[in-house]
Structure 1
Amino acid sequence: MPSDQPSPQIIIQQKESMFGRYGKFLIAGLVLAIMVIIGMRTAYQSYFNEAGGPQERYLHGERFAQKKIAVIKVSGTISEADTFVKEQIDRVAKDDQVVAVVLRINSPGGTVTYSDYLHHKLRQLATGEIRQGAGKDQPLPIVVSMGSLCASGGYYIASAVGDTPDSIFAEPATITGSIGVIIPHYDLSGLLANWSIENDSIATHPLKEILSMTKEMTEEQREILQTLVDEMLDDFKDKIKAGRPVFQEHPQDLDEIATGQIFSTDQAIELKLVDKKGYLEDAMARAAELGGTDLQNVRCVDYKRAPSAFDALTGNAKIESKADPMSIQTLQNMATPRAYFLYGGLPGLEAIE
């Protein structure tokens, strides 16, 4: 007879894991740790940077040194459309830990007005006129490091080093020089005549259309423009003389090379436009020396553009930005005649460099 007693059941209970028992505490602890790390990183970044301006980035030397060598970058065409160089200068002026500046130039030049403005701001920085905080009114030595191209307006800015000896370095393959001024003008009147198109503009005076592309330039107009570029060239040479004392003693030597010609590094050294052949590290070492220290006891930094909110959110912060080639501002810059310290074939395209 079958037994009325139920068959015994064996229940195997798994031992509770440590994670299962304390999992909530571990997860909470992990979240707290991540928040602390993020907070510490934010505090660390804020030590080097201020919100809304160029962001400081460690480049070379002793990472946690108090004294700094600031590398200010001048890249691409010099134009009012790009204020990043000015922003870097302003950032350095506020930092009393900076003991010297390296001006890293890789530029074909740009507009006369903005090249002159940046030269002016750099001279103010060098003399301490715009410095703030503990460094107020303290001179700040500037050393130039030329990249692949430092021509025309680029060299104009380089002369902001003043008469400090051994202050302009060029890499072995650098192209420099192109000391001169150009006001671009394109005469399309013959082409328009072939299509029976006539300029029928109404102007207060014929000279109002002095750079019109639809009319042939008159001799009077050409003489006026030639006088302008000659005066601008004289100013260019004055800036060079202020930074290269050898040309104060022998101005005729500068006149002979201020023809718009470009030079190799060896040629530029022979012509006294450049002091030494060297790379960025050599310029930083010289800047440290002028700042009363050396590369083992100084932090070399450069700057990148402040990321937009979208860039910060996506982690896609850009170091440099380019102008929109189809923006109204770009098209206006292309169409507006102006004078340039520029080496290149398309001076009207500076806004989309």
Structure 2
Amino acid sequence: MSSKRWAALIIAIALFFISTFYQLATNKTANQDSFFSTEDFVEKVTKTGNLGAGKIAVIHLDGVIMDTGSSFFSAYNHKDFLKKIEKAAIDPGIDGLIINVNSPGGGVVESAEIHEKIVEAQEAYDKPVYISMGNTAASGGYYIAAPADKIFANRATLTGSIGVIMESINYAELAENVGIDFNTIKSGEFKDILSSSRPMTDEEREILQTMIDDLYADFVDVIVAGRGMSEEEVRRIGDGRVYTGKQAQELGLIDEIGTLDDVITAMEEDFEFGNTTVVEYEVGFNLQSVFGLTAQYFSGSKEEWGGLLQEIRNAGGPRAMYLYSH
């Protein structure tokens, strides 16, 4: 083993022990056993409540909702986010969930998966779920909020953008100008639908529009069920435009204007939880994570590069999105 790799191992272990002792010294509520556990997440107390009062879990959603795997190149980890909702739902010590959303939306499938987890927490585990919107909670960010028991936003929050979008680039003329020819061998007429090497046909556009309309209908149904609005009303305001938090409240898309602290207070009062303890979930920094990171370093960080390559592949192909882009 080279001297550089030995140095990396020593530094990783040293950082582990420094972090351990620092957290134990500065956070009296920390569970010391968690540093030697194998759990994915540990609780971080952000507000200490009264003894015997309830406990609320705050889960943050930041970034584009896409499953790009576990990668340093992505701010949002889809699988971890789903696990956090599930952890809070099944934990008998958690009385309610607050999801703090700051997202322009993202993948259709990923948004639906989060929606299903929220509904499961409500129906299977009888946990109230409130939404706190940040700067942006649009398109897929609103899709996941729709089933919540209450939705809060800032007056200046950008939300709405109800709809589906699919885009592709046609560089056929550019390729022709620089002398590039494309040879395509396909099994069926529509196998290369949305190909960037040729113009889209009217029949292809009709096929794709049918798909988009179907996904849009699902979006509408989610809002109808979650907000108690009529389908006609949702379709009238769901033309893709964004709304401010104030406008969204007037339209019935959200319930109240307020900050995350206001949401916590509202849940405490609505369900008579008392002065609750509020926790967030952090990725556990334990022996397992230290050795996992070290092993990843010695293996050349293949998983991280794999995550980056997957993102590049995903960006290369058109897909339907619940996404607000500007």
- Common topology (TM > 0.5): yes
User: 282, 292, 298: which one pairs with 1:304?
Assistant: 282
Assess if the C-alpha contact under 8 Å between 1:150 and 1:174 holds in 2: yes
Match of 1:72 in 2: 59
Give yes or no for the alignment of 1:270 onto 2:239: no
- Superposition misfits of 4+ residues, deviation over 6 angstroms: 40-43, 310-313, 323-326
Match of 1:218 in 2: 201
Match of 2:15 in 1: none
Q: What amino acid sits opposite 1:287 in the alignment?
A: M
Give yes or no for the alignment of 1:238 onto 2:221: yes
Match of 1:188 in 2: 171
Under a length normalisation based on structure 1, what TM-score does the superposition of the two structures give? 0.74
Match of 2:107 in 1: 111
Give yes or no for the alignment of 1:256 onto 2:252: no
Residues 48/325 of structure 1: CA separation in 2 closer, same or farther (3 Å cut):
closer
Give yes or no for the alignment of 1:145 onto 2:132: yes
Query: Distance between the aligned counterparts of 1:150 and 1:328, measured in 2?
Result: 28
Offset at residue 288 of structure 1 (A) = 2.1
**Runs of 5+ in structure 2 lacking a partner?**
1-20, 69-76, 295-303
Q: What amino acid sits opposite 1:93 in the alignment?
A: A
Match of 1:169 in 2: 152
Match of 2:83 in 1: 87
Q: What amino acid sits opposite 1:186 in the alignment?
A: I
Residues 187/328 of structure 1: CA separation in 2 closer, same or farther (3 Å cut):
same
CA offsets 1:276-303 (integer angstroms, 9 cap, x no match): 1000011112222344313x2x111111
Match of 2:117 in 1: 121
Offset at residue 326 of structure 1 (A) = 7.9
Q: What amino acid sits opposite 1:190 in the alignment?
A: E
Query: Distance between the aligned counterparts of 2:152 and 2:36, measured in 1?
Result: 29
Residues 302/233 of structure 1: CA separation in 2 closer, same or farther (3 Å cut):
same
Higher RCO structure, 1 or 2 (CA under 8 Å, sep 6+): 2
Match of 1:342 in 2: 323
**Runs of 5+ in structure 1 lacking a partner?**
1-33, 129-137, 314-322, 346-353
Query: Distance between the aligned counterparts of 1:50 and 1:272, measured in 2?
Result: 45
Assess if the C-alpha contact under 8 Å between 1:100 and 1:290 holds in 2: no
CA offsets 1:223-252 (integer angstroms, 9 cap, x no match): 00000011101100100011111x13xx32
CA offsets 1:37-69 (integer angstroms, 9 cap, x no match): 88x979834479963312211112417656310
Higher Cα Rg: structure 1 or 2? 1
Residues 48/326 of structure 1: CA separation in 2 closer, same or farther (3 Å cut):
closer
- What is the DSSP-based 3-state SS (H/G/I as helix, E as strand, rest coil) of the residue aligned with 2:127? coil
Q: What amino acid sits opposite 2:212 in the alignment?
A: V
Q: How many residues align?
A: 282
Query: Distance between the aligned counterparts of 2:100 and 2:180, measured in 1?
Result: 48
CA offsets 1:319-341 (integer angstroms, 9 cap, x no match): xxxx7698221211111321100
Query: Distance between the aligned counterparts of 1:198 and 1:89, measured in 2?
Result: 49
State, as a whole percentage, how many aligned pairs show the same letter: 34
Query: Distance between the aligned counterparts of 2:29 and 2:127, measured in 1?
Result: 30
Assess if the C-alpha contact under 8 Å between 1:65 and 1:299 holds in 2: no
Query: Distance between the aligned counterparts of 2:33 and 2:55, measured in 1?
Result: 16
Under a length normalisation based on structure 2, what TM-score does the superposition of the two structures give? 0.79
- Please provide the CA RMSD for this pair: 2.7
Match of 1:198 in 2: 181
Query: Distance between the aligned counterparts of 1:310 and 1:122, measured in 2?
Result: 33
Assess if the C-alpha contact under 8 Å between 2:156 and 2:246 holds in 1: no
- What is the DSSP-based 3-state SS (H/G/I as helix, E as strand, rest coil) of the residue aligned with 1:221? helix
Offset at residue 254 of structure 1 (A) = 1.4
- What is the DSSP-based 3-state SS (H/G/I as helix, E as strand, rest coil) of the residue aligned with 1:160? coil
CA offsets 1:333-352 (integer angstroms, 9 cap, x no match): 1113211000115xxxxxxx
User: 98, 105, 121: which one pairs with 1:102?
Assistant: 98
Residues 228/212 of structure 1: CA separation in 2 closer, same or farther (3 Å cut):
same
Query: Distance between the aligned counterparts of 2:134 and 2:29, measured in 1?
Result: 33
Match of 1:289 in 2: 269
- What is the DSSP-based 3-state SS (H/G/I as helix, E as strand, rest coil) of the residue aligned with 2:144? helix
Query: Distance between the aligned counterparts of 2:311 and 2:64, measured in 1?
Result: 13
Assess if the C-alpha contact under 8 Å between 1:49 and 1:56 holds in 2: no
The 5-angstrom pairing of residues 39-78 of structure 1 reads 44-46=31-33, 51-62=38-49, 67-78=54-65
CA offsets 1:69-104 (integer angstroms, 9 cap, x no match): 011211100012222211211221331111111111
Residues 311/60 of structure 1: CA separation in 2 closer, same or farther (3 Å cut):
farther
Assess if the C-alpha contact under 8 Å between 2:35 and 2:284 holds in 1: no
Match of 1:26 in 2: none
CA offsets 1:151-209 (integer angstroms, 9 cap, x no match): 00000000121xx3xx1100122110100101111111111111121221111012111
